[in-house]
Amino acid sequence: AVDMMLGAKAAVITGGPGVGKTTLLDAILRIVSAKGVKILLGAPTGRAAKRMTEQTGIEAKTLHRLLEIDPMHGGFKRNADNPLDCGLLVIDETSMVDVSLLFAVLKAVPSKAALLLVGDVDQLPSVGPGQTLADIIDSAAIPVARLTEVFRQAAESRIVVNAHRINRSEMPEWPKRGEDSDFWFVDARDPEDGAAKVVELVRSRIPQRYGLDPIRDIQVLCPMQRGALGARSLNADLQKALNPNPSVRIEKFGAIFAPGDKVMQNENDYDRDVFNGDLGTVLRIDETEGLLIAGFDGREVEYPFGELDTLLPAYAMTIHKSQGSEYPAVVITLATQHYTMLARNLVYTAVTRGKRLVVIVGQRRAMAIAVKAGAGRRRWTKLQEWMKPRRGPD
C-alpha cells in the first residue's frame, strides 16, 4: 500500500477503525518528509485538524484556513492563480468534504504537487452536497488503498469489532452479564425512561465506574434534535443535572448559558478564531458589559450577548455534528421515534466516535432497523461518472 501511494500523483486511503489508516499515513509522511518534500495537512473541521496534528506531529489546518478564506469578498485567496505552497497535500476526514469545497481545494493544488485523500467512506457523507469520497473511489480513476484487516490490538475492543459488524449489516455482539466490556446497550421502555437513563449514566454511573469526567469526557450523541431523546431536550436535562446551581445564568436565542456549561461553536468565526464544532466551556458571564466569556483549549473568547446565536449547549449533540471528533466515552440514543433518521452509516459514525466506551440507550428494534436500513437516502451526483476513465472508440 505504501508503494502504491508513493507512486501516485493522487490517491485515496480508506478504511474503518483499527485497520491502520494512521499507521500507513505516518509511514508515507516520514518517507516523503525525509526527501525534503513540503507537506500540508488539512481537514474539514477544526476538531478533525486538531486530531490530525496530534496523530502525525505535523500541524494540520482547516481547509478554509489552508485556502485562506476571504470573509470580506467571499471565496478563497488560494486558487489556480495563487496555489498552495506544497509538494504533497493530505486531506483527512475526506468523507465530510462537500463538492464545492473539494473543487476549491483542487483548484489550489499546484500542478507539481501530489494529493492524498484519507477517510472512512462508510461514514456519513458531507452535510453539503455530494458524496465526494465515495464517488472518487467508485470511479476507479485513481489508486485506492482500502484497508480491511483489523489489527490484533484493535480486535480486542468490542467498539471496533461491533463497528465493523454494523458496517456489514450485522447486529452488534452484546456483552454477557458480568462480562467486562467497552460496548453496552441499556434498554429503555419509552423515550422519557431513556432520557432519565441517559442522565443517570452521564451524571453518576459512567464517572463512578470508569473515572471519567461527566462534562469533559462524556459526549451524548443523538440522531436528531427533536424528541425526548433528541439533542435539544437532553441538553436541558443534562444542564440541570450537571450544572444545577450556577451563580448566574442568561437565556438568549432559546438557549440557557451559565458558568461551567459545555458549549459548541456552530459556525466558522475567523475573527474569534473558533470554528464550527469546536467545544468549549462557559467561564464567566459579565452582565454589566453584556459579555459571555468561553474557554476553548485554554484560550478565552468573548461573545456579546447579541451574538450568542453562534454558540449552543453541547452536553448532547447530533451525530452529524460529531463527525471528525473522538471522545473518551459516548452515550448514543437510538429509538424508533428517530425512524426517519435510522440508517447504518449514522449508527456506524456514532459508534466510531467512542475511544474507551460506547453505551447505546434506547430500543434494540431501532438498532435492528438502522443496521438493516442501508446507508440512508441515495444522493444523486455526477462526479463518479465524470471521473471514470474514458474509453476511446473500439
Tens of pLDDT along 68-119?
Answer: 988 777 789 999 999 999 999 999 999 999 999 999 999 999 999 999 999 9
Across residues 6-19, what is the average pLDDT? 88
Judged by average pLDDT, the poorest of 88-92, 153-157, 265-269 is 153-157
Q: Which three cell numbers stand for residue 211?
A: 473515572
Greatest pairwise CA separation for the chain in angstroms: 78
Q: Say what percent of the chain tops pLDDT 90.
A: 63
- State the pLDDT at residue 342: 86
Gap between the Cα atoms of 322 and 223, Å rounded: 11
pLDDT at res. 379: 76
In a domain, 289, yes or no: yes
pLDDT for res 47: 81
- The mean of the pLDDT values for the chain is 90
pLDDT band at 152 (very low <50, low <70, confident <90, very high): low
In a domain, 384, yes or no: no
Clarify whether residues 91 and 176 are in a common domain.
Answer: no
Q: Are residues 58 and 206 in the same domain?
A: no
Weakest-pLDDT range from 79-93, 152-166, 215-229: 152-166
pLDDT at 2: 77
Q: Is residue 394 scored above 60 in pLDDT?
A: no
pLDDT reading at 193 higher than 60: yes
Distances (CA, A) of 276 to 30, 246, 257, 339: 31, 26, 18, 27
* Same domain as 190, residue 126: no
CATH number of the domain at 40, please. Answer: 3.40.50.300
Same domain as 320, residue 239: yes
Letter for the amino acid at 146? R
Residues 302 and 276 in one domain: yes
Which letter does DSSP use for residue 270 in this model?
T
Q: Which helix (H) or strand (E) holds 282?
A: strand 279-286
Pair (105, 128) in one structural domain: yes
Co-location of 258 and 361 in the same domain: yes
Exposed (0-12), middle (13-18) or buried (19+): which is 27, by Cβ within 10 Å? middle
Query: Whole-angstrom Cα distance, residue 108 to residue 105?
Result: 5
**Mean pLDDT, residues 188-214 taken together:** 95
Residue 387 lies in a domain: no
Model pLDDT, residue 118:
94
The answer to whether residue 383 is domain-embedded is no
pLDDT of residue 375: 63
pTM: predicted TM-score of the whole model, two decimal places:
0.87
For the chain, give the percent of residues with pLDDT over 70.
Answer: 97
**Res. 213: pLDDT tops 90:** yes
Confidence of residue 125 (pLDDT cuts 50, 70, 90): confident
Q: How far apart are the C-alpha atoms of 190 and 197, rounded to whole Å?
A: 11
Confidence of residue 150 (pLDDT cuts 50, 70, 90): confident
Asked whether residue 146 falls in the same domain as residue 163, the answer is: no
DSSP state, 317? E
Domain that holds residue 206: 157-372
Same domain, 122 and 200: no
106 part of a folded domain: yes
Of 83-97, 144-158, 372-386, least confident by mean pLDDT is 372-386
Of the candidates 13, 9, 8, 25, the one whose C-alpha atom is nearest the C-alpha of residue 110 is: 9
C-alpha cell at 179: 462480562
Are 341 and 230 in contact, with CB atoms under 8 Å apart?
A: no
Query: For residues 335 and 363, what is the distance between their CA atoms, to the nearest angstrom?
Result: 5
Number of domains comprising the chain: 2
Stretch 324-329: mean pLDDT, rounded? 90
| pLDDT value of position 191 | 92
Give the pLDDT of residue 269: 82
Domain's final residue, options 150, 177, 208: 150
172 and 103 in one domain?
A: no
Same domain, 139 and 258: no
